[in-house]
Amino acid sequence: MPLTEQDATLLAEKLIEKVHEQKHNFWIEPEQHYNDHARWRGFDEDQIRSLHDLIKAYRSARGLFWKAFLGFAIVGTLVLVAIGMGVKQ
């Protein structure tokens, strides 16, 4: 038995009510959701690629920062140990 349009509307309303009851803090209004997607559709292929490249560069720089930080910490520790042991320069 196929679902009539009226039954589908009632079902959708009940589902939305249940979602509101359970996850009221997370609910996104349909119009806002549509507008958010419309903004993404406004980007052309080059802009999307640029965003992807920017994200890759950020991730790479973040990893490089921690590697450099740990490297400097290790070298600094070795220098302090050498000074503490009385190694003359």
pLDDT profile of the chain (89 residues), mean per 10 = 85 84 71 82 85 90 88 93 78
- So where are the chain's domains? 28-89
- Tokens 């790479």 map to which residue? 60
State residue 60's pLDDT score.
Answer: 86
CA distance 20 to 38: 24
The angle at the Cα of 50, spanning 60 to 46, to the nearest 5 degrees, equals: 155
State residue 70's pLDDT score.
Answer: 92
State residue 40's pLDDT score.
Answer: 78
Q: Structure pTM?
A: 0.39
